[in-house]
Amino acid sequence: MWRDTVLVAGKDLRIEARSKVALSQVAPFGIVALVLFAFALGPDRGLMAKGAPGLFWVAVLFCTVLAVQRSVSVESADGARDGLRLSGLDPAGLFLGKSAAVAAQLVVLEAVLAGGVILLYGAKVEVPWLIVVSCLLGTVGLAATGTLYGALSAGIRVRETLLPFLLLPIAAPVLLAGTRIWQAAMAGGTASDGSPWLRLLVVFDAVYVALGIVVYGPIQESA
């Protein structure tokens, strides 16, 4: 399973390295989202700084949808999906590999967005390691659920409109937890302020990664 994971992740990341879609399209989209939020919230810098955690995570969620759509569409050409099914790859490995690739792209995107939020909104971060940990944990959850729903909607023509609608409500806990943790990090709180939310993220991640490992095979068969 782990060998297949590395294989699939490597394939997806190599495709990304050559096409640079995440870097050249999704990241700028994230920045555009941040700018639009700034327009929406008005020139009041205090308000923007207060809203920064939530806005960061909303932008991350939008980028997740795009990254997942991309992850699914790289296989829609030339019967690649059937090829993967017949290749004898362990479906759990396929799931973990694709999730890992999405997660890697998301981490880079989050770094860009975090920089944008700190620069554009004047958000002051007192406890940076909380942010880093919450981002990593949140990313795992988003990548796992995204890959699952991506596989579920892989063969559907209306996937572009259906996937966000299906995925975003499921990702809501990550948004809630991530925002709270970031707020704690900005307020300079101790680890205890953020820890129930960190635990929530861990549970979320564990549940959906486990679910994905078990269920990805059957989903693939019906797509």
* Site of interaction with another protein (CB under 8 A): 145, 148-149, 152-153, 156, 158, 162, 165-166, 169-170, 172-173, 176-177, 180, 196-197, 200, 203-204, 207-208, 211, 215, 218-219, 222
Using the minimum distance from each CB to another protein, give the nearer residue, 24 or 222: 222
CB 82 within 8 A of CB 204: no
Output the smallest distance, CB 117 to another protein, in A.
21
Using the minimum distance from each CB to another protein, give the nearer residue, 13 or 173: 173
Output the smallest distance, CB 69 to another protein, in A.
16
Output the smallest distance, CB 196 to another protein, in A.
6
Output the smallest distance, CB 159 to another protein, in A.
9
Using the minimum distance from each CB to another protein, give the nearer residue, 7 or 58: 58
CB atoms < 10 A from the CB of 183, how many? 18
List C-alpha distances in Å: 56 to 35, 94, 130, 182: 11, 29, 15, 9
List C-alpha distances in Å: 176 to 32, 172, 180: 22, 6, 6
For residue 125, the SS3 value is coil
Output the smallest distance, CB 147 to another protein, in A.
12
For residue 51, the SS3 value is helix
Using the minimum distance from each CB to another protein, give the nearer residue, 49 or 54: 54
User: Residue 156 CA to chain centroid, in angstroms?
Assistant: 21
Using the minimum distance from each CB to another protein, give the nearer residue, 105 or 183: 183
**Residue corresponding to tokens 């302020």:** 193
Output the smallest distance, CB 129 to another protein, in A.
22
- How many Å apart are CA 30 and CA 109, to the nearest integer? 8
Using the minimum distance from each CB to another protein, give the nearer residue, 122 or 196: 196
User: Residue 59 CA to chain centroid, in angstroms?
Assistant: 10
Phi, psi (degrees; rounded to nearest 5) at 122: 70, 30
For residue 19, the SS3 value is helix
Using the minimum distance from each CB to another protein, give the nearer residue, 22 or 219: 219
Output the smallest distance, CB 144 to another protein, in A.
11
CB 65 within 8 A of CB 30: no
